[in-house]
Structure 1
Amino acid sequence: MYINQYGNPDDPVIILLAPMMVSGADLYELMYPYFTKSYYVISPDQGGHGNAGAYISADDEYAALKEFLLDNNIRDIDLVYGASLGVAVSYRLFLDKTFNVKHAFFDGVALTKSAGLAEWFMKKLFRSRKKKLSKTQAEASKSLVKVYGYDFAKMMTKNFERITLEDIDAICYACCHYDLRKLTDAEQRKLHLDFGQMDPDYKYSKKTIPLYMPNADVVIRDGYTHCSYMAAHPKEYVEQIESFIRL
């Protein structure tokens, strides 16, 4: 993990954890024009992305983030945001009683203890696309363009170039295994869950949400798939995040 920091450390703390194929710096650049207040933003590059090393595990990534926060005496966090892969680390931070996390906003997460079939399929899919990309050297993957638009797909494709096969395996595992427990009422009041209505990860989460976090704030984006609302409507998305922080 490589820690990107933006803004004044005296301002409220926001931690942004990006999905696969998006670096922390990329996520910050997408969101920061639309924040209406000043924040101290910590937006790490996770393993396999940006300036970070290899992706080993979600536990390894979280250990690096936690060490940074403690070394810098950061314990009060206004928002931890995670999308897809980023939720694997965000979830750990949210449940860590070392910190006072006031709000958590998770997008496109498969909230399941073990999704072996999904993990197998993801590995096969990303390995295949990695092989194809190495042959075509495309600036933007056509399959990504269809879902996220050309500019976002171009950014994702560039990040995918440096992700290794070993990174893919570790990332897919992290995305498909969560240590779920029943959240307290207080924890549920702090939590927002966001899904595209066509997101494959939603089929897992809609089974576990009633069991572990039935009173969390949940929004389903009609007509959208995995993290695609964020890419299509960053302004409205950030406005909704800020509205949630103010609750």
Structure 2
Amino acid sequence: MFVHEYGNPDDPTVILLAPMMMSGEDIYRMMSPHFANSYHIIAPDQGGHGDAGAYVSADDECAQLKHYLVKQGITDIELVYGSSLGVAVGWRLFLDNGFTIHHAWFDGVLFRESAPFFEFAFRTMFKQKKRSPAKRSVDASKGLEDKYGHERAVMMTRNFNRITESDIDAICHTCCNYPLAKLTPDQQARLHLDYGSKDPTFRQSRRGIATCMPNVGITIRKGYPHCGYVAAHTKEYVKEIEEFIRA
């Protein structure tokens, strides 16, 4: 992990945890212009991305982030935002009693203790793309462009070219194996979940959500794929996040 830090440390702290194929700097550039208020933003490059080393595990990534936060004296956090892969670290931080997390917003998370079929399918798909000469030579993957637009597809393709097959194995395992825990009513009130209606992770998460957090707030974005709404409507999405913080 490599941690990017932006803004005034005296402002409320917001942690932005990016999905696969986005660095911390990428998610900062995407979301930060739309915040109405001033925040002290921490946006890490997770393993396999940006200036970080290899991706080993979510526990390893979280341990590195916690070490950084404690060293900087940051234990009071206004918001932890996680998208897809980023939720794995955000979830662990949210459950850690050593930190005060006032709000958490997680998008596109597969809340299951084990999803071996999805892990195998995701790993196979990403490795096939990694090994394809045609895929490696393009500036933007056509599939990504169709889902997230040209600009984001160029950025995500660039990041994917840096990810190794070993990173893919570890990332796919992380995204499909969650240490579930029953949340208290207070924790559920401080957490918001977001999904696209076309996102298969929501269907696979229903049982885990019903068991561990039956009263959590959930928004389903009709017609959108995995983490697709934030890409298409970033300004409106960030406004909703700030409304959640104020509420």
- Code of the residue aligned with 2:75 in structure 1: it is R
Mapping 1:204-223, distance limit 5 Å: 204-223=204-223
Aligned residue pairs, count: 247
Partner of 2:69: 69
Partner of 2:146: 146
- Offset at 1:134? 6.5
Give the gaps of 5 or more residues in structure 1: none
- Offset at 1:141? 0.3
Q: Equivalent residue of 2:193, what SS?
A: strand
Mapping 1:1-247, distance limit 5 Å: 1-132=1-132, 136-247=136-247
- Code of the residue aligned with 2:203 in structure 1: it is K
Q: What's the Cα RMSD here?
A: 0.9
Q: Equivalent residue of 2:2, what SS?
A: coil
Change (3 A) 1:135 1:28: closer
Deviations 1:163-191 (A, max 9, x none): 00000000000000111111000100000
Measured in 1, the distance between the counterparts of 2:50 and 2:239 equals 26
Q: Determine if contact 2:136/2:161 at 8 Å carries over to the other structure.
A: no
Q: Which runs of 4+ in 1 moved over 2 A?
A: 133-136
- Code of the residue aligned with 2:150 in structure 1: it is Y
Q: Determine if contact 2:82/2:105 at 8 Å carries over to the other structure.
A: yes
Change (3 A) 1:91 1:133: farther
Deviations 1:68-95 (A, max 9, x none): 0000111100000000000000000000
Measured in 2, the distance between the counterparts of 1:72 and 1:207 equals 38
Give the gaps of 5 or more residues in structure 2: none
Measured in 2, the distance between the counterparts of 1:54 and 1:240 equals 34
Measured in 2, the distance between the counterparts of 1:89 and 1:244 equals 21
TM-score by length of 2: 0.98
Q: Equivalent residue of 1:4, what SS?
A: strand
Deviations 1:33-92 (A, max 9, x none): 100000000000000000000000000000000000000111100000000000000000
TM-score by length of 1: 0.98
Q: Equivalent residue of 1:37, what SS?
A: coil
- Offset at 1:208? 1.5
Q: Equivalent residue of 2:218, what SS?
A: strand
